[in-house]
Structure 1
Amino acid sequence: MTRVGRWLASPSGRRRTWGAGAAAWGLLAEAAAEAHGRIPLWLDRPFSIAPGLGLDTDYASVAGLVVETSGLLHEAGLARGDVLAIVKAHNVDVIALAQAAARLGAVPALIAPEFDPDTIRALLDRLGGPLTVADDAAIIRHGLASPGLTRRLISVDGSAAGGTELDQYRGHRVPPAAPRADHELVALTHTSGTTGVPKLISHTGASLAGQSLVQVLGGRLLLGRRDVIATCLTTAHARTLSGLATVAALGLPHLAMVDPDPVSAGPLMARHRPTLIETFPNVFTRWEAFAEGPAAPLANVRIFLSTFDAAHPRTIHKMLASSRRRLPVYAQAYAQSETGAIALSFRFSRRHVGDARHVGWPILAFNRVRLVDPSTGAALRRPGRTGTIEVRGPGLFGGYRAEPGRTAEGWHDGWWRTGDLGSRRIDGAIRLQGRAVDAVAAIPDYLAWEDIVLERLEELDELVILDDPAGHPAVVATTRDNRPLDPDRWAEATADIPGLGHPRILRWDQLPTTATWKVRRPALRDQLFPTPRTAPATPPAPLGDDRLTQPGPQPTRLPRRL
């Protein structure tokens, strides 16, 4: 991390440059309201904990709700240092509940309700049976009222068996704020759980500030008072927590969506005409269907921001082409919940996107990245060599909750192991090749080939290449409006990828996805092939080898233009 980056992420640097965004995490909503007044906030779902606020509200009202809710939670028995588990449908009121807990000095733990009951129970057990806030749907589905699972169960929207209604605690005094210090644990989120029970990620005030750094500074440089921000993020995700500092610092009108369905998102964006949109790459892919429609909901956008995963070139092209601004930009942040943004890239051309697996430059995210051979741990210094990506930076998390051994395994000589494979270009940019656990033996650069096929077949919404139990490539696809896929068009589009048979066509809702709507490849593999996998007949090329293909019946080299 650069000296400038260290200063900007320090408490004194934040106070000078971030304004209200430098407040303690539990006080960010109040700081934003005090600094900027009634910042408009538009929702796609009403708050479960305050439906009377409606869909058109403001941050001053939300700040008041946070203060009031902190009183309710205090009366329910939540005290400084306690953990509050929040298990409810994605909505901005999840963040209001988390802020209310943090205002008391408690630690909110945000848990996505999509997990199966056994996973939810394992996470609650790892949290020590905490006081838990949930909605009736989660209480019933996961059996949260079971004896011993929680210290106390509170329902936000009803009176499910075993849950006490949150409204029962109204009318009591609100205690003074007592937020935790920067070096202390302030919140918990979780990983996607692609390889088992998700890991609980510990965030300190300093780590969340470090993850907010590039967003706050970018917003100050690129956005003005006439801009409108739109987001479509899941509210159990680390990015939603770090984004609060950005809102507090900038004080701009905000369309906060949690439903990526084009039927819901399209009309809202057509109404509010955002100038910056942030969501996950797979959501942008789903929005291709209305990007160039008659309502032109994206016409006013000048900054498209996707985070955590690499976007498909076709998606980047469609988004840029949908804007009527003179010079729109697609900003792509490669990130993980444990680190925040690792690298950042920008694309401006409406015609030629290039290889979207080039995810940018770490220095733009105030990070340092190195590549190592996973077998020896030796640094790979020559550009073009493939290895495991390791990172240092201001947003590194505080460890995995109740798993010190796993936390220690992730560190390597002071660098954090991301588990991703990639290479470095001669100009320092990082090229992402995929997760080590998702490797496809016959197609080492499987992510790039997915991009190529998606660009050739616009009727596809998503494409996933996996290993079958014998180590041969298998393909799963979803199509726009669930239409059948023409076998001849598929054969023509994949003629230069030997061994790639016709895909299995699924609906989008049949794909197992993470909190960022990214396909959980190991879970999808288990869904399709429940029997144990066998070792592939042809081992993959050794890491560090510059080749993209292997001997035998392998796909040809990637086309020059992706």
Structure 2
Amino acid sequence: MTALGAVATTRTMRRLWGAGGASLGLVAEAAAQTHGPLPMWLDRPLAIAPELGRDLHWGHLARLVEDASGWLHAAGVCPGDTVAVLKDHNIDVIGLAQAAARLGAIPAVIAPEFDAATVATLLARLGNPVTLADRSAITRHRLGGITALRRLVCVDGAADGAVPLDEMRGTRAPAPQCRTGDQLLAITHTSGTTGVPKLIGHTGDSLAGQAAVQVLGGRLLLRSHDVVATCLTTAHARALSGPFTIAAVGAPHLAMVDPDPMAAAGLLARHRPTLLETFPNVFQRWEQLADHPDQPLANVRIFLSTFDAAHPRTIRRMLGASRRRFPLYAQAYAQSELGAMAVGFRTRRQARSGDARDVGWPGLALTGVRIIDPDTGRHTPRPGVYGRIQARGPGLFAGYVGEPQRTREQRHEGWWDTGDIGTRTRTGQLRLAGRVVDDVPGLPDYLAVEDLVLDRLPELTELVLTALPDETTVPVVCTRDDVPLDPARWREATADLPVMVAPRQFRWSELPTTATWKVRRPALREQLATPSPVPEATV
């Protein structure tokens, strides 16, 4: 990026984010003033404003945030209060969070995928605050029965134990109240991969730190005539910091929240995005779109996956589906506690060989990374030596809400322990081997085995290798259109691999997933250990 570009980025960040990184509640307003009626297309109407339809612009969102702050004010929300938002994923989750921030309150977004017990635990950690939920969440999580909640507001009608949002509409919004950059600004949570999610407290400065890397990347890779498409959940830090990239660049945005490939195909074919971002496992489900007659991926110049490493087959399929001359697949290895920790790129040529565990260079994410020997606790700078990944950067969060001891245990003299295992390559890239808690006895590099089998069996849309308490390795598979897996093909594909029991085949909807649609391996192990009507494949 040129010096002029860096200055422009800094000015844009100040305009959109505000002094001290604390103007989360005014982002939509600033974007609307900067870019005018910049299009924003949705894959489903907003629960709190269905009359707006699915074709919006930043001005609509700005007015919605201002109106919603008036509704929350009528619900008794004051500066410094915590406001929980729990509803099906859509842009109005972000709008409600920004409305709370506009009042000087602290929004806490919670994913609807969790079970009732987990949601109750998270709400209790938040102090049972004013909670905004849709009818689906109120019913599924039995929120009406949590009498300790300060107030339960149903955002899309009437529900037992809740006050309808309609009773609060029409209340004039008070003047904005901005928190300082070092104050707690918003609360998200971890994905829940390893158990009950942890609540992540973000200050204005930490969210601004995460957003700055994204805006710099957007300035470098995007042009004003590009169309950005995303398919992301709206209950994590990326949902709060991510819109700044789009707002800063001024690109039209297709904001999807349904990962079903057939649901996405029509919208992608209609809007022809040039940048497409989603999670690696969603791209994996979308591999079938490479063969779609409407060629919904043909115009994509940059595929971007966040948080985890993608499978090599997935990267090849995405790049092969593009009709662009030089498409790129970009990976951002990230965690909600810190933001991006490494960024890397692959071309078609690079994707033909090797795996995808080299997730990029920490320097491109403005983040420092070191590898720690798990036995000695010492830094191991030698390339190729695996250890625990620790990182530090401007996006580091304030701490786990209600769990100060856990926060202290993972902080080491300013470095954050990610819980992942990896190494640095000779070229300085970060290479992942997996998570400590997901270890599969007998398969030191279980991710590499998954990649290998997926390459050999293109009919698989998901493969997870996990272990039972007796250390038996169990493959869990999903197939395209849920077609039964051919036993002979499985035997041939795994003949030279360590011994595994017969694969268990599931529908995608039957797998326990996180708020980012990633398979929860510990929960899957529990599910496998419990008698189930789902049959084993006969292999």
- TM-score under structure 2 length normalisation: 0.95
Inter-partner Cα distance in structure 2 for 1:230 and 1:44: 11
Structure 2 distance, partners of 1:203, 1:19, is 18
CA distance 1:80–1:384, shift in 2 (3 Å)? same
Q: Is the 8 A contact 1:129 1:148 kept in 2?
A: no
Match of 1:137 in 2: 136
- Pairing partner for 1:22 from 17, 20, 25: 17
Residue aligning to 1:84: 83
CA distance in structure 1 between the partners assigned to 2:17 and 2:367 by the alignment: 20
Residue in 2 that maps onto 1:242 = 241
1:340 and 2:339 are equivalent in the alignment: yes
1:307 paired residue number: 306
Structure 2 residue aligned with 1:527: 527
Give the match's secondary structure for 1:287. helix
Please give the TM-score of this superposition, normalised by the length of structure 1. 0.91
Determine the structure 1 residue equivalent to 2:537. none
Amino acid at match of 1:436: V
Alignment partners' CA distance in 2, 1:489 and 1:237: 39
Q: Once the two structures are superposed, what CA deviation does each residue of 1:471-512 show, in whole Å capped at 9, x if it has no partner?
A: 132111111111111122111211221212331111101111
Counterpart of 2:357, as a letter, is: R
Write the distance in 1 (CA, Å) between the matches of 2:303 and 2:15: 25
Describe the SS at the equivalent of 1:18. helix
Instruction: Give 3-state SS (helix, strand or coil) of 2:131's partner.
Output: strand
Matched, 1:391 2:386: no
Offset of residue 227 of structure 1: 0.3
Amino acid in structure 2 at the alignment position of 1:340: G
1:225 alignment counterpart: 224
Identity percentage of aligned residues: 61
Does the 8 Å contact 2:113/2:514 carry over to 1? no
The corresponding residue for 2:424 is: 424
Query: Which sections of structure 1, spanning at least 5 residues, go unmatched?
Result: 532-562
Measure the CA separation in 2 of the matches of 1:317 and 1:526: 33
User: Is the 2:9–2:215 Cα contact (8 Å) retained in structure 1?
Assistant: no
- Are 1:487 and 1:502, in contact at CA under 8 Å, matched by a contact in 2? no
Q: State the Cα distance separating 1:207 from its structure 2 match.
A: 0.9
One-letter amino acid of the structure 1 residue matched with residue 420 of structure 2? D
Q: Could you tell me which residue of structure 2 aligns to residue 509 of structure 1?
A: 509
For residues 65-464 of structure 1, what are the structure 2 equivalents within 5 Å? 65-349=64-348, 352-464=352-464
Contact preservation (8 Å) 1:490, 1:502: no
Conservation of the 8 A alpha-carbon contact between 1:424 and 1:431: yes
Give, in whole Å, the separation in 2 of the partners of 1:101 and 1:311: 35
Structure 1 residue ranges (4+ consecutive) displaced by more than 6 angstroms after TM superposition: none
More displaced, 339-348 or 494-503?
494-503
Q: Distance in 2 between matches of 1:443 and 1:21?
A: 47
2:67, 2:209 → 1: CA distance?
Answer: 29
Structure 1: how far apart are the matches of 2:294 and 2:421? Answer: 40
Q: Once the 2 structures are TM-superposed, how far is the Cα of residue 171 of structure 1 from its aligned partner?
A: 2.2
**2:45 corresponding residue in structure 1:** 46
Deviations 1:201-222 (A, max 9, x none): 0011111111112221111122
**C-alpha displacement of 1:111:** 0.5
Alpha carbons 2:442, 2:498 under 8 Å: kept: no
What one-letter code is carried by the residue in structure 2 that aligns with 1:106? A
Instruction: Pick which of 311-320 and 188-197 moved more.
Output: 188-197
C-alpha distance in 2 between matches for 1:132 and 1:16: 35
Verify the 8 A CA contact 2:84 2:110 in the aligned structure 1.
Answer: yes
Match of 1:499? 499
Distance 1:25 1:13 in 2: 20
Q: Which secondary structure does the structure 2 equivalent of 1:145 belong to?
A: helix
Q: C-alpha deviations, 1:300-335, integer Å up to 9, x for none?
A: 000000000100000000000000011000000011
Residues 515-560 of structure 1: per-residue CA shift (max 9 Å, x gap): 11111000000110149xxxxxxxxxxxxxxxxxxxxxxxxxxxxx
SS of the aligned residue for 2:356 comes to coil
2:296 & 2:123 partners in 1: Cα distance? 41
Alpha-carbon separation, structure 1, partners of 2:517 and 2:251:
26
Deviation per residue, 1:219-265 (Å, 9 max, x gap) = 11221121000000001111111102212211210000000101211
- SS state at 2:240 partner: helix
- Structure-2 change in CA distance of 1:162 and 1:255 (3 Å): same
**d(CA) in 2 for partners of 1:141, 1:508:** 20
Instruction: Provide the C-alpha distance between the structure 1 equivalents of 2:52 and 2:523, rounded to a whole number of angstroms.
Output: 39
Displacement after TM superposition at 1:16 (Å): 2.6
The answer to whether the 8 A contact 1:225-1:252 is kept is yes
RMSD: 1.6
Residues 84 and 101, structure 1, Cα contact 8 Å, conserved in 2 = yes
Q: Cα deviations across residues 134-186 of structure 1 (Å, max 9, x unaligned)?
A: 01111122221225331011001111011111121122221011121211111
**Aligned position for 2:471:** 471
Kindly tell me: are residues 378 and 133 of structure 1, through their superposed partners in 2, closer, same or farther at Cα, counting changes over 3 Å? same
SS at match of 1:419: strand
| 1:16 partner SS | helix
Structure 2: distance between partners of 1:377 and 1:181: 36
Q: Tell me how far apart the structure 2 counterparts of residues 19 and 181 of structure 1 sit (CA, whole Å).
A: 14
Task: Tell me the equivalent position of 2:536.
Answer: none
**Aligned-partner Cα distance in 1 for 2:359–2:11:** 30
- Rounded to whole Å, the distance in 1 between the matches of 2:9 and 2:145 is 44
Give the SS at the match of 2:427.
coil
Question: Which amino acid is the alignment partner of residue 369 of structure 1?
Answer: V
Q: Distance in 1 between the 2:307 and 2:508 partners?
A: 20
Q: Structure 2: how far apart are the matches of 1:459 and 1:65?
A: 44
Q: What letter is aligned with 2:485?
A: L
**Stretches of structure 2 lacking an aligned partner (at least 5 in a row):** 532-539
Deviations 1:82-133, CA, capped at 9 Å, x for gaps: 0000111111110000010001110110011111111111111101010010
> Aligned pair in 2 of structure 1 residues 216, 198: CA closer, same or farther (>3 Å)?
same
**Amino acid paired to 2:493:** A
Distance, in Å, in 2 between the alignment partners of 1:509 and 1:460 is 15
Q: In 1, Cα distance between the equivalents of 2:530 and 2:415?
A: 36
Tell me, in whole angstroms, the C-alpha distance in 1 between the residues paired with 2:75 and 2:151.
Answer: 8
Distance across 2 between alignment mates of 1:328 and 1:394 = 30
* CA positional deviation for 1:18: 3.1
Deviation at 1:21, TM superposition (A): 3.1
| Alpha-carbon distance in 2 for matches of 1:359, 1:525 | 27
